């Protein structure tokens, strides 16, 4: 099929980015218009594609990108239920956030650059989603990483932002190290990188990966650990909040971090049982750890960031438990309400003249009523209260855990309790209570262009659960057995967790002027406030490796110096005439040169 439609969806944002980069640097209004226009048109076109898909059309588009010897790589766009859902989320939520940014970023000197990067990001993300093979996916995967680097470091004159951008890029790169190795392995063993063909090969020959099957699966999963910020590579996401708030909403909540979850759903067939078990536990662990940390954070964006980590943990857990549709369902609803929460938080920050500490806010419900009500809708969806969208998707995951693993079910319920607790803590401290600073007293509601997107997302967050996303996806994966009893049990426990969380939060924070918890539980709170000391431990580890490397280098130097002195002595004895150059340095170098030859000869002749 050579329909231009799929290509347009992908390349319109790129076109916008190129236009902005080349021609619109000095024209903020026009650049915003082009960028917003591109993503909105992409969204409308993907709705059209959805209609075609529901009408039974098989959609795909590809051309041959490279054919050398037996290496053939297609540039293929793949449309199925899974990718269409993601395309709709990326362009739909993306469009709303683009529009919101028009207001939020107003007056920033880098306005055109911002929209250029946003468009480039949309393009890359669509590329990841539509990829038909590992190679293409990896290219866009890294492009997404580059865009994230550019956008986190958008205010690059702030050292914290520049450092956060670097940290995010490097941490992701660690995960990609595994991903890339996994891709090379898949290609070497299966002889193809196309998702469909790899799957066929595996069906034809179940022993394809042999003993390496678990290894291959886990290496591929490494990519998701980096991008979706799972334990132990989660450290970059909270720092990424240094970027502008719309970026946090689009990239670090709704779409990019979801790419990891999407990827493991896309290549679900490659994981065997042991690999899936490890994936499930990493997801559960991340959910638990991030939920705990969120309880003691004071920065409004960081609380939301840890909550994102925790929800991503849920999704990864669902994939590990063998149910990608449940993960994607939660990914969809989460995209709505987390984008909403971030944009509403952005509205608060905007109204508070860029104050982010929740203990300096208070009583904002009266000053920013529209923001408050939409924030509340997002929060209730996140906590999973019926009939908000989060209820349905979270319940699906909890029911799954209930069926497959009691321990993970317990973890899931406890995380649900934590979620409610920290969200109500945030709401009570920020919107109720007494105002705790001048800025809070003078806070003002945001302009219309920022508030309308909030309402759109709020509507999606409330009703998103009724669209039947799970049923839409189910045919693509093995059908799940319907087990109503688990759903009811999970819903019961889930509501109990919600109630408990809400009640505890009210008891502790309804009138609190400062956080009462640290006084009562010093040790635990210290641990949580310092995020379990992950950053410190990693810094220490890096220092340690660097130090030991330096020491090793020193030791080597010392040995070499001894050898050189010994030889130098002999040279003196055998006659000064033989000494060529006196610079010393040169002699050392030449000696090392000869030593190098000796090493190589040793390997050759004695092995």
Partner 1 sequence: MTLSLDWMIPLIPEEIVIIFALAALAVDFAIVRRMNPAVRWRVIGATACAGCVGAMIWIGRATNYGTSEMLALSPLTQFIKLALLGLALVVVVLSLDARFTRHTGEYYALLLLATAGLMLLISSENLLMIFIALEILSVPLYVLTAFDKTREASAEAALKYFLFGSVAAAFTLFGISLLYGMTGELGLGAIAAKLRTQPVEPVCYAALVMTLIGFAFKVAAAPFHFWAPDVYEGAPAPIACFVASASKVASFFVLAKIVIDGFGPIRGGAAWNDFRAGWMPVLAVLAVLSMAGGNIAALAQTSVKRLLAYSAIAHGGYALLAFFGNARQMLPALLFYVITYALTVLGALAVAGAVENSANGDRMAAWAGLGRRAPLLAVCMFIFMLSLAGIPPLAGFFGKFYLFTAAAAGQPHLGMLWLVIVAVGASAISLYYYLQVLKQIYAVPPPAGAMPLRASRAALFPIALLAALVIVFGCAPGWLLGRLSAVLNSSAF
Of 32-40, 88-96, 135-143, 233-241, the segment contacting partner 1 by CB under 8 A is: 135-143
Figure out which of the listed residues 91, 97, 133, 176 binds partner 1, where binding follows CB under 8 A: 176
Residues 182-201, interacting with partner 1 (CB under 8 A): 184-185, 187-189
CB 410 within 8 A of CB 490: no
Options 44, 196, 273, 597; binder of partner 1; rule CB under 8 A: 597
Question: Is residue 600 within the footprint of partner 1 (CB under 8 A)?
Answer: yes
Q: Does 5 bind partner 1 (CB under 8 A)?
A: no
Q: How many CB atoms lie within 10 A of CB 431?
A: 22
The nearer residue to partner 1, 187 or 532, going by C-beta atoms, is 187
- Taken as a whole, the chain contains a residue count of 607
**Judged by CB under 8 A, does residue 556 bind partner 1?**
no
Tell me: does residue 170 bind partner 1 (CB under 8 A).
Answer: yes
Identity of the residue, 67 or 444, whose beta carbon is nearer to partner 1 in the bound complex: 67
- The CB-side HSE value for 349 (13 A sphere, CA atoms) comes to 22
CB of 1 to partner 1, least distance (A): 22
- Which are the contacts of 251, defined by CB distance < 8 A and separation ≥ 6? 121, 147, 148, 151, 240, 243, 257
Q: How far is the CB of 542 from partner 1 (least distance, A)?
A: 10
Within 8 A by CB and 6+ apart from 468, the residues are none
Question: Contact between 601 and partner 1 (CB under 8 A)?
Answer: yes
| Least Å from the CB of residue 387 to partner 1 | 44
- Smallest gap from Cβ 558 to partner 1, in A, equals 17
Candidate residues 62, 173, 404, 529; the one interacting with partner 1 per rule CB under 8 A: 173
According to the binding rule CB under 8 A, does residue 159 interact with partner 1?
Answer: yes
Asked whether the beta carbons of 443 and 352 are under 8 A apart, the reply is yes
**Quick count: other Cβ atoms within 10 Å of Cβ 484?**
8
Is residue 138 at the binding interface for partner 1, with CB under 8 A as the rule?
yes
Nearer to partner 1, 65 or 466 (CB): 65
Q: Is 567 in the site for partner 1 (CB under 8 A)?
A: no
Q: Could you tell me the two tokens for 244? A: 């502008």
Radius of gyration of the chain from Cα atoms?
27
**Residues near partner 1 (CB under 8 A), total:** 54
Stretch that binds partner 1, among 143-151, 352-360, 385-393, 488-496 (CB under 8 A): 143-151
Pick between residue 143 and residue 480 the one whose CB is nearest to partner 1: 143
DSSP string, 500-528: HHHHHHHHHHSS-SS-SHHHHSHHHHHHH
Query: Which residues are CB-neighbours of 334 under 8 A, at least 6 positions away?
Result: 254, 258, 311, 315, 382, 390, 393
Does 561 bind partner 1 (CB under 8 A)? Our answer is no
- Complex with partner 1: residue 260 or 313, whichever CB lies closer: 260
Distance between first and last Cα of the chain: 58
Figure out which of the listed residues 5, 143, 376, 564 binds partner 1, where binding follows CB under 8 A. 143
3-state secondary structure of 456: helix
Residue (519 or 605) nearer to partner 1, CB:
605
Q: Which stretch binds partner 1 (CB under 8 A): 32-40, 78-86, 289-297, 579-587?
A: 579-587
| Helices assigned H by DSSP within 267-405 | 273-294, 300-320, 324-351, 364-367, 369-383, 389-404
Asked if 414 touches partner 1 (CB under 8 A), the answer is no
> For residue 581, which phi and psi values (nearest 5 degrees)?
-110, 150
The least CB distance from residue 600 to partner 1, in Å, is 5
Compute the least distance from the CB of residue 161 to partner 1, in Å: 8
- Considering only the stretches 159-167, 378-386, 406-414, 493-501, report the one whose residues sit in contact with partner 1 under the rule CB under 8 A: 159-167
What whole-number distance in Å separates Cα of residue 336 and Cα of residue 250?
Answer: 10
44 vs 556 by CB, closer to partner 1? 556
589 touches partner 1 by CB under 8 A:
yes
> Does residue 578 belong to the site contacting partner 1 (CB under 8 A)?
no
Query: DSSP alpha helices (H): ranges in 476-574?
Result: 484-509, 517-520, 522-529, 534-574
Closer of 141 and 271 to partner 1 (Cβ): 141
Q: How far apart are CA 254 and CA 464, in angstroms?
A: 14
Verify binding: residue 595, partner 1, rule CB under 8 A: yes
Contact yes or no for 429/362 (Cβ under 8 A) = yes
Cβ-based nearer residue to partner 1, 29 or 156: 156
Which residues, 6 or more positions from 136, have their beta carbon under 8 angstroms from its beta carbon? Answer: 65, 73, 74, 75, 76, 127
* Footprint on residues 44-103 left by partner 1 (CB under 8 A): 65-69, 71
Q: Taking a C-beta distance cutoff of 8 angstroms, is the pair 174, 197 a contact? A: no
Q: Is 114 in the site for partner 1 (CB under 8 A)?
A: no
Per CB under 8 A, 156 contacts partner 1: yes
Note whether 537 binds partner 1 by CB under 8 A: no
User: 149 or 391, CB closer to partner 1?
Assistant: 149
Bond into 232 cis (ω within 30): yes
User: Judged by CB under 8 A, which of 60, 181, 272, 524 binds partner 1?
Assistant: 181
Least distance (Å) from partner 1 to the CB of residue 182?
Answer: 10
Residue with tokens 């693509």: 476
- Residue 71: enclosing H or E segment and its boundaries? strand 71-78
Handedness of CA 433, 439, 445, 451 (dihedral sign): negative
Cβ closest to partner 1, residue 273 vs residue 592: 592
Cβ partners under 8 Å of residue 552, min gap 6: none
Q: Which residues, 6+ apart, have CB-to-CB distance to 101 below 8 Å? A: 32, 114, 115, 118, 244, 246
Segment contacting partner 1 by CB under 8 A, of 276-284, 345-353, 511-519, 593-601: 593-601
CB of 44 to partner 1, least distance (A): 27
Kindly list the residues in this chain that would bind partner 1 in the complex (CB under 8 A): 65-69, 71, 135, 138-140, 142-143, 145-146, 153, 156-157, 159, 162, 166, 169-170, 173-174, 176-177, 180-181, 184-185, 187-189, 549, 580-581, 583, 585-586, 589-590, 592-597, 599-601, 603-605, 607
């Amino acid at each position: 099929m050579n329909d231009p439609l799929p290509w347009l969806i992908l390349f319109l944002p790129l076109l916008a980015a190129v236009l902005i980069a080349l021609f619109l640097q000095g024209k903020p209004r026009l650049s915003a218009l082009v960028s917003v226009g591109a993503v909105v048109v992409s969204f409308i076109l993907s709705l059209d594609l959805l209609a075609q898909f529901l009408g039974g059309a098989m959609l795909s588009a590809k051309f041959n990108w490279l054919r050398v010897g037996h290496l053939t790589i297609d540039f293929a766009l793949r449309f199925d239920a899974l990718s269409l859902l993601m395309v709709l989320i990326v362009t739909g939520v993306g469009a709303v956030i683009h529009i919101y940014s028009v207001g939020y970023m107003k007056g920033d000197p880098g306005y055109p650059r911002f929209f250029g990067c946003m468009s480039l990001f949309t393009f890359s993300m669509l590329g990841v989603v539509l990829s038909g093979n590992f190679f293409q996916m990896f290219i866009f995967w890294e492009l997404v990483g580059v865009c994230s680097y550019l956008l986190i470091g958008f205010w690059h004159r702030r050292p914290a932002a520049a450092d956060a951008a670097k940290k995010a890029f490097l941490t992701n790169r660690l995960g990609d190290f595994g991903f890339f190795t996994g891709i090379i392995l898949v290609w070497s063993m299966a002889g193809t990188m196309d998702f469909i063909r790899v799957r066929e090969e595996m069906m034809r020959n179940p022993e394809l990966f042999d003993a390496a099957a678990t290894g291959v699966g886990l290496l591929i999963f490494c990519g998701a650990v980096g991008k979706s910020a799972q334990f132990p590579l989660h450290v970059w996401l909270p720092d990424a909040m240094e970027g502008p708030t719309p970026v946090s909403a689009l990239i670090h909540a709704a779409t990019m971090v979801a790419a990891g979850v999407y990827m493991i759903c896309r290549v679900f067939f490659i994981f065997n049982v042991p690999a899936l078990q490890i994936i499930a536990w990493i997801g559960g662990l991340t959910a638990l750890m991030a939920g705990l940390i969120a309880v003691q954070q004071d920065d409004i964006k960081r609380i939301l960031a840890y909550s994102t980590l925790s929800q991503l943990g849920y999704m990864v857990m669902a994939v590990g438990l063998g149910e990608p549709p449940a993960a994607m369902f939660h990914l969809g609803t989460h995209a709505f309400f987390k984008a909403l929460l971030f944009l509403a938080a952005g509205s608060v920050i905007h109204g508070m003249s860029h104050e982010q500490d929740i203990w300096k806010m208070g009583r904002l419900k009266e000053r920013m009523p529209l923001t408050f009500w939409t924030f509340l809708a997002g929060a209730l969806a996140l906590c999973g209260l019926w009939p908000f969208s989060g209820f349905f998707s979270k319940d699906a995951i909890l029911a799954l855990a209930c069926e497959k693993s009691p321990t993970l079910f317990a973890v899931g319920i406890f995380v649900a309790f934590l979620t409610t607790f920290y969200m109500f803590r945030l709401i009570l401290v920020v919107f109720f209570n007494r105002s705790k600073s001048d800025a809070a007293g003078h806070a003002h509601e945001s302009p219309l262009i920022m508030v309308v997107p909030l309402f759109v997302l709020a509507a999606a967050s409330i009703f998103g659960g009724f669209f039947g996303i799970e049923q839409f996806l189910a045919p693509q994966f093995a059908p799940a057995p319907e087990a109503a009893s688990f759903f009811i049990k999970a819903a019961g426990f889930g509501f109990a967790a919600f109630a408990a969380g809400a009640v505890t939060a009210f008891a502790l924070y309804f009138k609190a002027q400062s956080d009462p918890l640290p006084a009562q539980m010093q040790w635990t709170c210290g641990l949580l406030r310092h995020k379990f000391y992950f950053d410190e431990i990693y810094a220490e580890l890096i220092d340690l490796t660097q130090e030991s490397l330096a020491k090793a280098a020193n030791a080597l130097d010392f040995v070499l110096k001894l050898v050189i002195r010994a030889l130098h002595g002999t040279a003196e004895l055998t006659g000064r005439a033989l000494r060529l150059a006196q610079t010393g340095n040169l002699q050392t170098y030449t000696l090392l040169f000869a030593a190098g030859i000796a090493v190589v000869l040793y390997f050759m002749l004695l092995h």
